[in-house]
Chain A
Amino acid sequence: MAKITYHTHNNKTYTVDVQKGLTVMEGAVQNDIPGIDADCGGGMACATCHVYVKEEWLDKIPAKEDGEEDMLDMAFEPKNNSRLSCQISVSDELDGLIVSIPSKQG
């Protein structure tokens, strides 16, 4: 179990316990946190689970696989700390992770 904090674009903050093995995307969807659409269901095929990872966590998350950066080209306002939340698996090391959700997913 890891505590993950999601900041939404309208300045709401949700901190939830997400089980190990789930992704940061699933943590949001299962807890009804708005702003993560995940249209393709975690297939790295749509970029609608785009989040900004708080800088200090960036190097603690496993690096992007091939294809994630390509999908981020399609995301709404991508930045250097952009990730697809379906590609971040929750582990004990990520306890305390903070991500922000962009104002839109498409």
Chain B
Amino acid sequence: MNKTDVLIIGAGPTGLFCAHQLGIIGLNCEIVDNLDKAGGQCIELYPDKPIYDIPAVPECTGEELTNNLLKQIKPFKVKFHLNERVEQLKKAESRWNVKTSGGKEFDVASIVIAGGVGSFEPRKFPVKECEKFEGNSLLYSIKDKSIFKDKTISIFGGGDSALDWAIELSNISNVNLIHRRDGFSGAESSVQKVKELNDQGKLNLFTKYQIDSVSGNKNIESINIKHDEGDIKEIKCDYVLGFFGLIMQLGPILDWGLNINKKTIEVNTENFETNINGIFAIGDICSYPGKLKLILSGFHEGALAARGCFKYAKPDEKLRFEFTTTSKAAQERLGIKK
């Protein structure tokens, strides 16, 4: 059991800055995120794209922003629980008991949902029968590549994951790479490599093809792929891999009794608390009149939600408003030595 003052759900910029604000006012927090790293959409969707509207930062990439926020919260030694999705919240007297997908449990005074548009999950094939094979011979991520040795693998996608795995697996397996168009979004050097391997007969590249059907009993035995112009090819294979990036899903958040409207959680703008006492929502996932989905708005919301958490963590204390320029207590928490 992890006991702390506040649990933040989501390690995007909003969640990270909220951790900073909690640290400044002397509260402890831990952060859970479904991705394998901090940064949320900034890292997953646009790590290299410049952002131009962070106050006082004329230009920075999603990755730089994340790294700076991590640096800013370093003094507070925040504990991260990555690759974990929060599944269940249960009120336990005046506190909350939280359970994650990986079986971790938390005992917290309040919860801040900074979940963006939900947790990232792999995008799946459009063909319905694919579900039947998911997890055994149809996969959206690779944990152990040795299972593919000497097998025939059909890989779908045109981004870096599809290209990198096609190249890598072509050493140990018989690889088909299937993509919907001639162009690829992955790195040019990988595209060249794939084309070379195709010319040398070390992998089979099919462009302008998409999946049409899969067949097999327990495991996949063959798939049909369909060309833009309609002709269908049958490919015998043992495994099918799909790399179509990630999609965001609200998931279990929908089951917690929160007021949800168009995939966002309604909050008040005084402290960003939801309809449930002790549960706050900030960043892209919250909605209120005038809401802007900007990172800077998320920072503001996090600062207020952190202060809203105080009365749950320390019911007998009064929070005094202080500036970091002058507050001894804040500077001590930041580890500043004078």
Contacts and interface: CB of A to CB of B under 8 A. Distances in A.
Query: Which size bracket describes the interface of A in this complex?
Result: 20 to 34
Given A41-B293, A43-B46, A78-B180, A73 B126 contact: no
B41 A45 contact: yes
Interface string B262-289: 0100000000000000000000100000
Interface string A31-74: 00000010111010111100000000000000000000110011
Contacts of B46: 43, 45
A73 B45 contact: no
A46 B180 contact: no
Interface string A65-91: 000011001101110100000000000
B329 interface: no
A106 B123 contact: yes
A20 interface: no
A73 B46 CA distance: 16
**Count class of interface residues, chain B:** 20 to 34
Nearest to A32: B262
B92 interface: no
A73 B180 contact: yes
B117 A39 contact: yes
Interface stretch (B13-21, B240-248, B309-317): B240-248
Interface in B178-210: 179-181, 183, 185, 210
Nearest to A103: B126
A73 B157 contact: yes
Contact of B158 (A39, A43, A73, A104): A73
User: Sorted from nearest, which 9 A-B pairs have the closest CB atoms?
Assistant: A70-B185, A106-B247, A45-B45, A39-B117, A74-B245, A77-B126, A73-B158, A41-B293, A74-B244
Interface of B: 41, 45-46, 117-118, 123-124, 126, 157-159, 179-181, 183, 185, 210, 228, 244-245, 247-249, 263, 284, 293
18 contacts: A39-B117, A39-B118, A39-B248, A39-B263, A40-B45, A45-B41, A45-B45, A46-B45, A47-B245, A69-B185, A70-B158, A73-B159, A73-B179, A73-B244, A74-B244, A78-B210, A105-B247, A106-B123
